[in-house]
Amino acid sequence: MGSKKTTDAKTFDAQTFLDSAGAAREVVEYPRSEILFSQGDAATSVIYIQKGGVRLSVVSHAGREAVVAMLGPGDFCGEGGLAGQSVRTATATALTPTTVLVIAKEEMIRVLHAEHALSDRFIAYMLDRNIRIEEDLIHQLLNSSEKRLARALLLLAHYGKQDKPDRILSKISQATLADMVGATRSRVSVLLKKFTRLGFIDVRPAGITVNRSLLSVVLHE
Amino acid sequence: MGSKKTTDAKTFDAQTFLDSAGAAREVVEYPRSEILFSQGDAATSVIYIQKGGVRLSVVSHAGREAVVAMLGPGDFCGEGGLAGQSVRTATATALTPTTVLVIAKEEMIRVLHAEHALSDRFIAYMLDRNIRIEEDLIHQLLNSSEKRLARALLLLAHYGKQDKPDRILSKISQATLADMVGATRSRVSVLLKKFTRLGFIDVRPAGITVNRSLLSVVLHE
DNA sequence: GGGCGTCTGTTCAATTGTGAACACGAGTCT
DNA sequence: AGACTCGTGTTCACAATTGAACAGACGCCC
C-alpha cells in the first residue's frame, strides 16, 4: 500500500544492491522437488528467492509433516539464522524450477546497514511474513478443519486478484493440503468431495478450480 | 546469541535513539487490564514496550477469542501498520502495569533509516517474533491439545533458565490458557487436573508450579 | 505389457474434543 | 447478610477427527 518502489517485491532487484555493497552472493538454480536445505543443517546463509516457488516444511519426531509456508519470488528464506538459530528448523523444497540468491549470514548483516533499499525490502518481507503466519495461527486456533481447508484453497488460488474463479496450479497433493491445514489426508479427501458436491470447487486432472462462493464456508460461523 | 549489544532487549534504550533522530514519541503508562488498542482501531503508530507485559488477542465473528502472543519489555507491538495493515488486527491488553513508547508510523519509518541501532533492534525483534509464532503454528499443526497445553505451561514458566522448577505468575485463568492453545476451558480444567495427578504441576492459589518433567508430555509421541 | 510407486476414494471403530449445564467457593459491593 | 460476579471442578451426550486398512486409477520405467 504505502510502500516505496524499492521495497516492492515485483520491482526490487536484490542483486543490484548486493553488488553495490560489494557483497558476496551466489546464484543457484534448483530443479523441481530439489531440496534447498534440510531441517538440521547449519544455518549459515540467507536465501532470496528470485524465480520459482519454495515449500517450507517441518517433520515431527513422530514423522508427521507440517507445511509452514509456501514462498515465492521476493521472499526471503532461512532468515532465522540471523537470530539465534544455528540450525535450520525446516526443510525447504523447490516446488518448481527455482532461482535463488544465497547470501552468507555475515554479508547479509553487513548489507542491511549499507543498503537501505535492501533493508527496507527485508523489513517489508518480515512484516508481511509475520502477518501471514499470524493469520495462519489464528485460523488454527479458531477454526475447524473444514474452514481451514477452505481458507487454504482460497489463498492458494490467489484470491483478491480478479473477479473470475481462479485456478490452482495442478500439482498439489491431498497429502500436502493435509499438512498445511493440520489434518489427515482422508479428511481432506472427504472435504474436497463435499466442496465439490456443493459446487464450491471443481476437481479435475489439470487442477482445482476454486469458486469465490467457497468464501461462504470460511465466513459462516 | 551472536547479536550485538545494541540489539539486545535488555540493554537497548529506544528512547535514546529516537531522541538522537529528533523523532516524536510519547511515553504512556497503562494500569493492569487497560487496553492499549482494540481490534479495528486505525493503525497509525508502533508501540515499543519498556516495562510490563501485554497480551495480544483476536476475537472471531462468533465471539471466540484466541491469544496470539504474550509480549514483554523490548518487544514491539502493532508493527503490522508498517506493512499494508491500516487497522489493528488484534487487541492489546496490559497484563501488569505497563510503560510503552508510542511512535507514529511515519516517524518509525524515518528512524529506521537514521538509526542503525534501532533498526537492528527492530529486525532482531521481528526475527524472534517470527520464530516464536512459527513454532506456535507448528505445534498447532502437529500436536494434540494435551501437548499444546503442556508446551504453553512450560513456555510461560520461562523454561531454559534455571534447573529448578519454576513458577508461573499467579494470574492466568484457565480461560486464557484455553484461548492460547485453542481448546475449551473445560478441557483445560480436565488436563490441569490430569497433570496434577501425575505430579507434573502443582496448582495452588499463588500460582502454578511447573515441574521439568512436564517436558515428557510434550516430547513423547 | 507387466510391474511398481504414488495419489486417490472410501469405509469404520476408536479416540479426542466440544458445548452446555450445574454446583461450588472466594471475592466485592451496598 | 444478601446478592452478584468470576473462576473453577465436573459431568455427559454428541460432533469432529483420527488412523488404519483396502481397492482402484494413473503415470512411469524397463
pLDDT tens-digit profile of A101-143? 999 999 999 988 888 888 889 999 999 999 999 999 999 999 9
| C-alpha distance from A185 to closest chain B C-alpha (Å) | 14
Q: CA angle at residue A127 from A123 to A129, to 5 degrees? A: 115
Tell me the residue type at A174: Q
Average pLDDT (B179-189) is 95
Among B84, B129, B140, select the one facing A1 at the smallest CB separation: B84
Tell me the residue type at A185: R
Which nucleotide lies nearest residue A205, CA to C1'? D26
Among A64, A130, A219, select the one facing B129 at the smallest CB separation: A130
**Window 168-187 of B, Cβ < 8 Å to A:** 179, 181-182
Measuring alpha carbon to C1', the residue closest to nucleotide D21 is: A186
CA atoms within 13 A on the CB side of A216: 8
Q: Which residue has the higher pLDDT, A11 or B190?
A: B190
B136 touching A, CB under 8 A?
yes
What burial class does residue A193 get, using C-beta atoms within 10 Å of its C-beta: 0-12 exposed, 13-18 middle, 19+ buried? Answer: exposed
Average pLDDT (B93-121) is 90
Picking from A56, A141, A184, A187 by the largest number of B CB atoms within 10 A of its own CB, the best residue to mutate is A141
Query: CA–C1' span, B204 to D15, in Å?
Result: 34
What per-residue confidence (pLDDT) applies to B139?
A: 93
Nearest residue in B to A79, CA atom: B127
What per-residue confidence (pLDDT) applies to B4?
A: 46
Among A60, A80, A130, select the one facing B142 at the smallest CB separation: A60
| Torsional sign, CA A171, A47, B131, A10 | negative
What per-residue confidence (pLDDT) applies to B162?
A: 54
Q: Beta strand pairing status for B76-77 and B166-167?
A: unpaired
What per-residue confidence (pLDDT) applies to A207?
A: 84
Query: CA–C1' span, A177 to C9, in Å?
Result: 16
Q: Is the pLDDT of residue B39 over 60?
A: yes
Query: CA–C1' span, B217 to C18, in Å?
Result: 23
What per-residue confidence (pLDDT) applies to B68?
A: 93
What per-residue confidence (pLDDT) applies to A156?
A: 87
CA atoms within 13 A on the CB side of A114: 14
Report the share of chain B in percent with pLDDT over 90.
Answer: 54
The least confident of A205-214, B126-135, B183-192 is: A205-214
Answer yes or no: are the C-beta atoms of B66 and B179 closer than 8 Å.
Answer: yes
Say which residue the cell 537501505 belongs to: A116
Beta-bridged to residue A26, according to DSSP, are: A102
Q: Which residue has the higher pLDDT, B66 or B5?
A: B66
Tell me the residue type at B150: A
What's the rounded Cα separation, in Å, for the pair B60 and B53? 23
Q: Is the pLDDT of residue A167 over 70?
A: no
Tell me the residue type at A111: V
What Cα–Cα distance (Å) separates residue B148 from each residue in B141, B217, B219?
10, 9, 11
Write the DSSP symbol of residue A34. Answer: -
CA nearest B146: which of B85, B201, B207, B75?
B201
**Window 94-113 of A, Cβ < 8 Å to B:** 112-113
Residues of chain A found within 8 Å of residue B62, distances taken between Cβ atoms: 221
pTM: 0.89
What burial class does residue B154 get, using C-beta atoms within 10 Å of its C-beta: 0-12 exposed, 13-18 middle, 19+ buried? Answer: buried
Q: Is the pLDDT of residue B193 over 80?
A: yes
SS3 A202: strand
What Cα–Cα distance (Å) separates residue A135 from each residue in A138, B60, B194, B205?
5, 12, 31, 35
Query: CA–C1' span, B169 to C28, in Å?
Result: 23
Q: CA angle at residue B72 from B68 to B75, to 5 degrees? A: 85
What per-residue confidence (pLDDT) applies to B159?
A: 58
Tell me the residue type at A197: R
CA nearest A149: which of A179, A105, A118?
A179
Are A131 and B83 a contacting pair at CB < 8 A? Answer: yes
The mean of the pLDDT values for chain A is 86
Nearest residue in A to B177, CA atom: A141
What's the rounded Cα separation, in Å, for the pair A28 and A51? 11
Which nucleotide lies nearest residue B189, CA to C1'? D9
Average pLDDT (B135-159) is 90
What's the rounded Cα separation, in Å, for the pair B95 and B44? 23
Are A122 and B123 a contacting pair at CB < 8 A? Answer: yes
Q: Is the pLDDT of residue B134 over 80?
A: yes
Answer yes or no: are the C-beta atoms of A93 and A57 closer than 8 Å.
Answer: yes
What's the rounded Cα separation, in Å, for the pair A200 and A192? 9
Average pLDDT (B139-151) is 94
Average pLDDT (A33-54) is 92
What per-residue confidence (pLDDT) applies to B221?
A: 67
Q: Which residue has the higher pLDDT, A24 or B180?
A: B180
Between chain A and chain B, how many beta carbons pairs sit less than 8 Å apart?
120
